[in-house]
A and B are shown apart, each in its own frame.
Chain A
Amino acid sequence: MSHAVSTKRYEGLYGALVEFDTPEDLLDACDKAYAEGFRKMDAFAPMPVDGLAEAIGYKKNKVALCVLIGGITGMCFGFGLLQWISQVAYPLNVGGRPLNSWPAFIPITFECMILFSALTSMISMLAMNGLPRPYHALFNVPAFERASVDKFFLLIESQDPKFEPDQTVDFLKTLGGNEVNFVPE
């Protein structure tokens, strides 16, 4: 994602972009490009497309792990807080109930668990996606507006070792997309 790579091979050029009309076209375009040996590439769709990420070589998804950790933290926080309040901070005889009325602590513990894990799921997702990111080179391409409406795009980044502007564009043209654009930095 980050474009702070030390060796910029093509100053001012982020990559090359090809547009398709259907997810299917995009999918096999991706396969072709991947087969061609491109690695630093990305695909864009106005909706989730099954297998698209895999097609461009994406494997590990760590969101679930984060959520698990978040959940456990929340649970410990909740239960710990209640125990501390009722046994350490100010122990009180409440209606003759024991200080450690653990059954009464379950609901809050549960809610804390849910709250923490829910928040982590969103935050981790956004963080890994590097959002918020209001500016992005891709937005320089007028056609890219439709990436969120009805068009499907394949991007080969200039950072890709196999990226050579002209050849890459020629290659992309062979994929049967509508038009091919350079993406200025």
Chain B
Amino acid sequence: MDQIEKANVNNIHLPTEVIPDPGANIVLGHGLDYKTVTDRIGGIVVLPWKNSPKKWLVGAFISFCFVNLLMLAVYLLFTKGVGIWGLNIPVAWGFAIINFVWWIGIGHAGTLISAVLFLVKQDWRTSINRFSEAMTLFAVACAGMFPILHLGRPWLFYWLLPYPNSMWLWPQPRSPLEWDVFAVSTYGTVSLVFWYVGLLPDLASLRDTAPYLWQRKIYAILSLGWRGSAIHWHRYQKAYLLLAGLATPLVLSVHTIVSFDFAVSQLPGWHTTIFPPYFVAGAVYSGFAMVLTLVIPLRAWYNMRDLITLRTIEAAAKLMLGVGLIVAYGYGMEAFFAWYSGDKYESFMYWNRMTGPYGFMYWLLILCNIAIPQLLWSQKVRHNLGLVWTISIVINIGMWLERFEIVVTSLHRDFLPSSWGMYIPTKWDIATYAGTLGFFMLLIFLFVRALPSISIFEVREQVHHDLQHENKPAVEEHA
């Protein structure tokens, strides 16, 4: 048996030398054929440990430590109560909701990239859609934690679900929080479905290329016996198209509904009609930022510069810049209407947001979300991956600050001056947030090691497409 397995291992060829980036004009590097892309992408997953970079171990370990921090924080939370956070009256929502919105926002890139860009036939999406879908799932998992954690009595979260109970009581469907329950769970489920459907053919490839029998068995079960029949492919593509078509309005609805948590309320700073589009834009913004934050190191670590080329990264950067401008417009409108509405609460709220105790955060967020990203206008910057990566981090921070501004500054000084207060996060606020970051990263690390982080069959299509345009049969390349 093990000779066979050794043979299998040797049958998978990974390039030994570092492959350079083929530049910003092509989606895939040259010299790739069906077999090599399978080996290159699948190999990362199925080959033994020695073939994966040490960085992986270090990163995974660090993330794991943060997961433990998260568990500690949650343990305290459940035993002592939400009092361990900096919450109070008036500021009854803090980090938990901020992080929830932030994570959900990040969770938007995946579906957007795979669905929307798929519908508008953006070929460069091929190389990052699988990865960003995974990222979406993990982000949604982190996001989904918070609404439950932030409950005063989290063990009763299931009261938000409509099920026949001995109290004969039901959820209250006018509450945006109830809408969230459906929106987030639907989004999670659909993203999972979309992701899994996308994985099916690749799982089959792994089943047929994995060196070890146990691997093959696992992937065989996961791939449900996919064998690439033409008719299957036909139905498959239809289903995938429909899923994309469904995911697109869904992704818009989800953050719209999240924005309703605020927009439906009475609070100056929350009660804002521009929120839905402005939240969606913000979500996409942070989503792309997070994708770039992760993809740039990923392709370097796994020597995949020719699979995820500058073309992709630049396109993503451009898109990010565009969405960033929409977000900027959102801020502008918010400020404008605060003034134009003539509403004393609204205008005070915005003035307080800019000049009040949390003013510095407002200006920091303007810097992060509007000023700095303008650098992306220059192609030089876009081609400097170090810079793009830094900017994407900056945007992630900025988007978090935006949510902080929305949640906290609106609450801490609302209608009656007598009940004004301040919100100062405690170490457990921060620990919980950091913990979910760790959880997210750990999932990412496990993912790249367990599943193909690029859609192999779509890359094959791309290869096929490229070959046709070079009018050369792939075999000769191979020989």
Q: Determine whether A and B are in direct contact in the complex, meaning some CB atoms lie less than 8 angstroms apart.
A: yes
Q: Which residues of A contact B (CB under 8 A)?
A: 21-23, 30, 42-49, 52-53, 55-56, 58, 61, 63-64, 67, 78, 81-82, 85-86, 89-90, 92, 94-95, 97, 101, 104-105, 107-108, 110-112, 114-115, 117-119, 121-122, 124-126, 128-129, 131-136, 138-139, 144-150
**Chain A residues, CB < 8 A from B170:** 85, 89-90
Most-contacted residue by chain B among A49, A52, A85, A129 (CB, 10 A) = A129
- Known A63-B239, A64-B238, A134-B221: A125·B197 in contact at CB below 8 Å: yes
Determine if B174 and A104 form an interchain contact, defined as CB atoms under 8 angstroms apart: yes
B260 at the interface (CB under 8 A from A): yes
Determine if A134 and B224 form an interchain contact, defined as CB atoms under 8 angstroms apart: yes
Most-contacted residue by chain B among A111, A125, A132, A133 (CB, 10 A) = A111
Main secondary structure of the interface of B (DSSP, over half): helix
Determine if B228 and A46 form an interchain contact, defined as CB atoms under 8 angstroms apart: yes
CB contact list, B222-259 vs A, under 8 A: 224-239, 242-243, 246-247, 249-250, 253, 257
B38 at the interface (CB under 8 A from A): yes
How far apart sit A133 and B228, CA to CA, in the bound complex (Å)? 12
7 nearest A-B pairs in the assembled complex, by CB-CB distance: A150-B34, A132-B224, A125-B239, A133-B225, A53-B234, A52-B230, A111-B182
**Nearest A-chain residue to B34, judged by Cβ:** A150
Q: Which of B38, B190, B237, B457 contacts A115 (CB 8 A)?
A: B190
B474 at the interface (CB under 8 A from A): yes
**Chain B residues, CB < 8 A from A78:** 182
Determine if B231 and A48 form an interchain contact, defined as CB atoms under 8 angstroms apart: no
**Chain B residues, CB < 8 A from A110:** 249, 253
**Chain A residues, CB < 8 A from B185:** 115
**Nearest B-chain residue to A134, judged by Cβ:** B225
**Chain B residues, CB < 8 A from A22:** 473-475
How far apart sit A84 and B318, CA to CA, in the bound complex (Å)? 48
How far apart sit A144 and B173, CA to CA, in the bound complex (Å)? 54
**Chain A residues, CB < 8 A from B460:** 46-47, 150
Determine if A56 and B243 form an interchain contact, defined as CB atoms under 8 angstroms apart: no
| Chain B residues with a Cβ closer than 8 Å to the other chain, count | 66
**Chain A residues, CB < 8 A from B232:** 129, 131
Q: Which residues of B contact A (CB under 8 A)?
A: 33-35, 38, 162, 168-174, 176, 178-179, 182-183, 185-186, 189-190, 193-194, 196-197, 201, 204-205, 207-209, 220-221, 224-239, 242-243, 246-247, 249-250, 253, 257, 260, 457-458, 460-461, 464, 473-475
Q: Which of B173, B183, B209, B250 contacts A149 (CB 8 A)?
A: B209
How far apart sit A44 and B475, CA to CA, in the bound complex (Å)? 18
**Chain A residues, CB < 8 A from B186:** 111-112, 114-115, 118
Determine if A147 and B174 form an interchain contact, defined as CB atoms under 8 angstroms apart: no
Determine if A45 and B234 form an interchain contact, defined as CB atoms under 8 angstroms apart: no
Q: Which of B171, B194, B228 contacts A147 (CB 8 A)?
A: B228
- Known A42-B230, A47-B457, A47-B464: A129·B34 in contact at CB below 8 Å: no
